[in-house]
């Protein structure tokens, strides 16, 4: 059995329950893929996006309806060694990538006020633009279940707001484009198990900011680590805590909220109290 076949078999056989079925469940539950879609699967070189690329490749091959996938790699300023590792892993996994350059790291490396936010926005814009050049109507990102619940807690604890990472979004700046997150229901620990099982080595993080000392690391990264550790602590006493966090933003009782808002409105419970 060749290496590519081994990796694919591990997804839909060995980790069928924990990865493949959750991958399919998320796509079906949130109607992420429709007939005729051309989807740019965005690969950063890490474990999540590489797994996503393989899952999308397998799904496209066996889908009941036609859709296309393109595999898009953006080089935001990687070292030559990290860029080559991405290309080598793509070849190892049988993923034909389209790579383009965007010197984002050079733009944000000296930004002191929330550089990660600026970097993420710039990355998203470049991905949308280059996906359109490939004739795509959607981009697929590798965010997983843990990213979702961590975002919920980050918003509550540090943003004073209840919001989540959505499974799909319409782009506000690129007409006709949509973002989807097909690994929405897949847990990070199962992705790590899949990586270790196949003895794969992906980029951990090639961001310029993580090259600094721990004291200099960006505050947003530290907060996410803190929330990840908090969830792990809570799970020791409540094995359902992760799913409860996830379900909380799908089970909002508006009658018990002091206030809420949408794009064009704000509501306070006092408006209808008397």
End-to-end CA distance of the chain: 72
**What sign results for the dihedral spanned by CA atoms 141, 149, 34, 122?**
negative
Q: Which helix (H) or strand (E) holds 186?
A: none
Domain of 63 in residue numbering reads as 3-271
Instruction: Write the CATH number for 216.
Output: 3.40.50.620
Task: Give the model confidence (pLDDT) of 144-195 as tens digits.
Answer: 999 999 999 999 999 999 999 999 999 999 999 999 999 999 999 999 999 9
Helix (H, G, I), strand (E, B) or coil at 251: coil
Write down the pLDDT at residue 213: 42
Written as six digits, the tokens of 248 are: 């909380």
79/135 Cα distance (integer angstroms): 29
Task: Give the model confidence (pLDDT) of 24-35 as tens digits.
Answer: 999 999 999 999
Written as six digits, the tokens of 256 are: 């018990």
Total structural domains within the chain: 1
207/82 Cα distance (integer angstroms): 11
Q: Tell me the whole-structure pTM to 2 decimals.
A: 0.92
Residues with Cβ within 8 Å of 233's Cβ and at least 6 positions away in sequence, in order, are none
Least confident of 80-94, 150-164, 214-228, 246-260: 214-228
52/55 Cα distance (integer angstroms): 5
Query: Where residue 214 falls among pLDDT bands split at 50, 70, 90?
Result: very low
Select the more confidently predicted residue: 107 or 241. 241
Of 79, 75, 78, 82, which is closest to residue 42 (Cα–Cα)? Answer: 75
Mean pLDDT of 227-232: 96
Query: Where residue 216 falls among pLDDT bands split at 50, 70, 90?
Result: very low
Write down the pLDDT at residue 228: 95
Of 191, 171, 167, 163, which is closest to residue 29 (Cα–Cα)? Answer: 167
DSSP 236: T
**CA distances (Å), origin 122, targets 76, 141, 169, 219, 265:** 10, 15, 17, 19, 29
Query: Where residue 222 falls among pLDDT bands split at 50, 70, 90?
Result: confident
Task: Give the model confidence (pLDDT) of 94-144 as tens digits.
Answer: 999 999 998 887 766 666 666 677 778 888 999 999 999 999 999 999 999
Select the more confidently predicted residue: 210 or 146. 146
∠ CA 128-145-241, rounded to 5°: 150
Q: What percentage of the chain's residues is helix, strand, coil (to nearest 5)?
A: 50, 10, 35
User: Mean pLDDT across the chain, nearest whole number?
Assistant: 92
Mean pLDDT of 64-75: 96
Query: Where residue 62 falls among pLDDT bands split at 50, 70, 90?
Result: very high
CB atoms within 10 A of CB 17: 9
């Amino acid at each position: 059995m060749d290496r590519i076949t081994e990796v694919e078999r591990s997804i839909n056989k060995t980790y069928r329950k924990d990865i493949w079925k959750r991958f399919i469940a998320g796509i079906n539950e949130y109607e992420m893929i429709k007939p005729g879609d051309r989807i740019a699967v965005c690969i950063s070189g890490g474990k999540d996006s590489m797994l996503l690329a393989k899952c999308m490749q397998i799904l496209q091959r066996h889908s009941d309806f036609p859709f296309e996938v393109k595999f898009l790699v953006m080089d935001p300023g990687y070292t030559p060694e990290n860029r080559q590792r991405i290309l080598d892993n793509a070849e190892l996994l049988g993923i034909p990538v389209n790579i383009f350059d965007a010197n984002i790291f050079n733009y944000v490396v000296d930004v002191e006020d929330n550089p990660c936010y600026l970097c993420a926005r710039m990355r998203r814009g470049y991905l949308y633009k280059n996906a359109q050049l490939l004739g795509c109507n959607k981009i697929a990102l590798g965010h997983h279940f843990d990213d979702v619940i961590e975002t919920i807690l980050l918003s509550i604890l540090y943003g004073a707001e209840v919001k989540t990472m959505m499974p799909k979004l319409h782009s506000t700046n690129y007409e006709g484009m949509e973002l989807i997150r097909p690994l929405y229901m897949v847990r990070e620990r199962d992705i790590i198990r899949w990586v270790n099982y196949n003895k794969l080595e992906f980029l951990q993080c090639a961001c310029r900011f993580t090259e600094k000392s721990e004291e200099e690391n960006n505050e947003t990264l530290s907060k996410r680590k803190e929330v990840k550790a908090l969830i792990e602590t809570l799970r020791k006493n409540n094995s359902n805590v992760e799913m409860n966090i996830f379900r909380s933003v799908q089970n909002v009782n508006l009658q018990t909220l002091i206030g809420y808002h949408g794009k064009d409105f704000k509501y306070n419970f006092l408006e209808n109290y008397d």
